[in-house]
Structure 1
């Protein structure tokens, strides 16, 4: 076969290329090292690739094998668990069945033994009803179901016909029963007489022994007296029943005390028995005589003082002057807590022989921050003469015990705490509010309208009538007095903390003597002033209801009536709630604007829900 020129050329080219390839090539040493290093790296990469593929395939194989093995193992465990639970339930049922059957067998054996040794009860044979009895009429009840037996005693007494008694009645039994009935009837009549209500009023029972428990209850209700405590003596109805000495009764008569006041009726008998007393009554109710008279009775039993020491120390003296006076000895010390504590600390006064303590206006002292001083003074008094803590122990009449009187218009928590600490088994005497003698009026005004209303009220005063005007600050006192003096319609005096003691005495003395008919003062005059006041005007409302109570207590004293007028503004809403309650309690009119105000409906400090 002949070859073409193209094939021959191609073959020649291929042979030439192969000869070129097969021809040895000269390589340098560096070139040879690079080729060797590259060849070595390729081999290592290939080995790593083969090893990774082998490891991956082995892991996949192991995972498949482990998954199959775990699934098989879990299914085996669940089958075993189900089988075991079924077996356990079957065994429990079998055990319960066996125990029940064994229990029944034991009961049968016990019953058989009882019948064998104790004699078993034979079952009653069923009564065979005759054909003639099937259609016989019978009642629904039997003779054993008779309810009259035992319910009435007449059924129990059998008649004695034919046994020697006329009509079957035993006269001896009849007389015995009649006597028992008459005795019971007589006892009921006596009890009815003893417990019957006497129509006489307590005032008609002249003798004290004829006063019953009901009379004393009515007596205390008439005078609004209430007690808290044990072993309380009855109150005194008049001065003759007070058991005071003749000298004190003469002094009472000279002081023109015709009838004792309610607080005096209740507190004086307790003081004469050396009982600790907590008296709660408003100002102007006679609290001073209630503790002064028992105190004088106590002092009258002490040794008399020499004439040299019968001196009287007044106020506005230095500590040294008062200490010198007290060092001579005295029977009565009237002092403020701070000054008395100062004298004690300087050793001018020693209270070793003090056995009669009176805390007048206790709530006021606590409010003014004198609680530590009061406690320190009471702790300075020896406790050797304290009464026993147990109420059951009787007091020795010959021994002198420490008697503590505490009087207050209100009874806040801190006063109760102080009384609990220093008083032994006290009797709490409360005389209810007597403010029905005070006509309370509240006027809702603006600040600019106050003076015009004040001028109008002062112009309505009678010839001998006096008025007290209470304001909040000393500066306002001076401003009101200046404006009133310009009018020239009244005689004005001032009283506040910025005045000296001499100026205060002058103003107060002139007001009591009616040289001044109007006294403009701050809250310093709301307590401790016993003057005849016809009208109290609260130009500025008090900051709290307690101060308001003491302010209006300057009028309506000693059984006389009085008027209290208060100028109220919207800035006084903090006392709206308490003032409204006070007016409602005293049956005084409440202004519509005050009654409708939201502040009068919610106690200050409480949250009013919106829902």
Structure 2
């Protein structure tokens, strides 16, 4: 019987068959790394002299397509016949498919720019190189060149979010699409020096000034965002499209535009801002546009006198307007534009029933030919606001500015612990000297306001004015004028001034007493950090505060920190055991 083949010999035979080299012991040799010279030698063609001769003479039996410059006669060396394949655009390589089958024929990639051309732009041309890849920015394009991507970038630049279907694109500038007549445009840009529209103005004006629809509009934007001009301009544009009315007709038919606001201070502010535009506009267009305001604190006789010549634009608080309607001081037959400003504040103040009552009266009393347009502006969107919008607005455009898109006021929030009013004032006295006026100090009680004003006058050189509900209308107006003119550096106020008032350049807001609700806190500190400017809000917390409110305050301060410098003092955390429960959960 033959002896079986040794395993090493068997493996060596298999390796030889597979081209693997082995040594005498049958083990596979390690690979040898060749030099460039050795690789070139091994790469030379092997074969007999006849094969090499054939190869060198180019007579190998393979199809070679020869072509010359401009010569379409391609020969098959094996058959000697012409190859009639179509020539493809003079390309070096010839393919047998048709040009229509080339899916990349019209492809023009954005990376087609040569690197050399980009390098020639120099080190400081980052914008130019980006433009070569991504195209021009929307600010450098004409209206006809704007793409969907450009409009999307514009909205992102101004933190504008819209919904509602068939929404008009925002205005790029005041002159955009000739929406605003030249006379009104000149007033806004030259006389009032508003060089560019704010985000709420950009989205509101083109959507409400469409003559075909006069579409309803609901805007969610913070106070101080330019809402007044956003609805005054459309009101004047619509007024200009109808002939002026004599006083008798204004009295008989009532105002063409009705603006509702929650507080008398806000009503008076809207009245004043509106007259800045309407007085110039009326003078230049020979159009007697009258603006009248109705607020509490004025007797019915005073209101009746102000309405004796009629009006085109009426600004009012809900309660006083209902009083005037019930006493037949005015009618509302031709209200073409209805504006609800600070709608959420009206609801907070308990005006929901009065607002719905007014909306119903406007609809009932309106002439059949009148197409009413409703605009509503609010700082927060609540269920009640949505209910009013659903009941009294027709397919409105919804626009949110900044609040829900990650943009918020640039306010540093500081929360300090102070157990008594005297302790608070001691800290406050050193704080206010570090900030430029105007400064607003909020309190909860009128007695505290009077005490604080007296103490400031005794212990500092700063002039203080007071604003609260016990003051008469004339006293409140006088206080606001002193503060706006800079004759008083500090205003001590209750929540009545926390909403709607637009006092520019407030550097510091102090919550001498924190409010009872977190919403009031938000609106108080919103008096500073307006128009993209930075501001500071300091709040004093005592030992008698509601523990739930303090915890909500801590969460808000932690969550809303755009400058990354908010401070919530350890003294407050210790007093109200904030953070202790979280540590206990981690330990146990």
TM-score by length of 2: 0.66
Q: Distance in 2 between matches of 1:572 and 1:355?
A: 47
1:279 aligns to what?
A: 219
Answering whether residue 397 of structure 2 is matched by residue 423 of structure 1, we say no
Q: Give secondary structure in 2 for the equivalent of 1:184.
A: coil
Q: Corresponding residue for 1:548?
A: 521
Distance 1:468 1:183, change over 3 A: same
What is the aligned partner in structure 2 of residue 221 from structure 1? 156
Give, in whole Å, the separation in 1 of the partners of 2:478 and 2:302. 23
Query: Of residues 249, 256, 261 in structure 1, which corresponds to 2:185?
Result: 249
> Structure 1 residue aligned with 2:481, among 503, 506, 509?
509
2:491 aligns with: 519
Task: Give the distance between the partners of 2:482 and 2:166, measured in 1 at CA.
Answer: 47
Please state whether the residue corresponding to 1:515 is helix, strand or coil: coil
Aligned residues: 431
CA–CA separation in structure 1 for the residues paired with 2:448 and 2:378: 30
Partner of 1:184: 103
Equivalent residues of 2:220, 2:377 under 8 A apart: yes
Contact 2:304 2:329 in 1 (8 A): yes
- Give the structure 2 partner of residue 299 of structure 1: 239
Contact (CA 8 Å) 1:573, 1:600: kept in 2 or not?
A: no
1:458 offset after TM fit, Å? 1.8
Aligned to 2:104, the other structure's residue is in SS state: helix
Distance 1:514 1:231 in 2: 46
Which of residues 412, 417, 424 in structure 2 aligns to 1:450? 424
Residues 439 and 490 in structure 2, CA contact (< 8 A), matched pair in contact too: yes
Tell me how far apart the structure 2 counterparts of residues 405 and 569 of structure 1 sit (CA, whole Å): 42
Aligned equivalent of 1:367, options 319, 342, 348:
348
Asked if the contact 1:556/1:563 (under 8 Å) is kept, the reply is yes
Structure 1 gaps, min length 5? 1-159, 388-398, 603-607
Q: Structure 1's 386 and 178: CA in aligned 2 closer, same or farther, altered over 3 A?
A: farther
**Cα distance, 1:330–1:184 mapped onto 2, change above 3 Å:** same
Gaps of 5+ in 2: 1-62, 64-74, 89-94, 113-131, 251-287
CA gap of 1:410–1:452, structure 2 versus 1, over 3 A, is: same
Q: 2:139 aligns to what? A: 203
SS in 2 for 1:185: coil
Alpha-carbon separation, structure 2, partners of 1:526 and 1:386: 38
Structure 1 residue 291, shift from structure 2 partner: 1.0
Residue by residue over 1:512-570, the C-alpha shift from the partner in whole angstroms, topping out at 9 and shown as x without a partner, is 11111011110011123222322111111122222122212212233433222112335
Whole-angstrom CA distance in 1 between matches of 2:548 and 2:367: 44
> Out of 486, 489, 496, which is 2:461 matched to?
489
Deviations 1:367-417 (A, max 9, x none): 111111100110112379899xxxxxxxxxxx8632111011111111111
By how many angstroms is 1:446 displaced? 2.5
| Partner in structure 2 of residue 148 of structure 1 | none
Q: Secondary structure at the match of 1:230?
A: coil
Aligned-residue CA RMSD in angstroms? 3.6
CA deviation after TM superposition for structure 1 residue 486, in Å: 1.1
C-alpha spacing 1:188/1:542, structure 2 compared with 1 (3 Å): same
1:414 aligns with 2:384: yes
Matched-pair contact (CA < 8 Å) for 1:573–1:599: no
Aligned to 2:60: none
Indicate the larger mover: 481-490 or 339-348.
339-348
Cα deviation 1:4-46 (Å, max 9, x = unaligned):
xxxxxxxxxxxxxxxxxxxxxxxxxxxxxxxxxxxxxxxxxxx
**TM-score under structure 1 normalisation?**
0.64
Query: Whole-Å Cα distance in 2 between the matches of residues 204 and 347 of structure 1?
Result: 56
Q: Contact between 1:440 and 1:565, CA under 8 Å: does it hold in 2? A: yes
Whole-Å separation in 2 of the counterparts to 1:167 and 1:548: 94
CA shift in 2, pair 1:198/1:538, >3 Å = same
Q: Find the residue that maps to 1:334 and give its secondary structure.
A: strand
Bigger CA drift: 570-579 or 363-372? 570-579
> Closer, same or farther in 2 for the Cα pair 1:406/1:323, shift >3 Å?
same
Alpha-carbon distance in 2 for matches of 1:505, 1:339: 18
Q: CA deviation at 1:268?
A: 1.1
Q: How many Å apart are 1:320 and its aligned residue?
A: 4.3
SS at match of 2:136: coil
C-alpha displacement at 1:262, in angstroms? Answer: 0.9
1:269 aligns with 2:206: yes
Structure 1 counterpart of 2:560, from 570, 585, 598: 585
| Structure 1 match to 2:36 | none
Contact map agreement 1:324 1:348 (CA 8 A) in 2: no
Deviates more, 1:171-180 or 1:280-289: 171-180
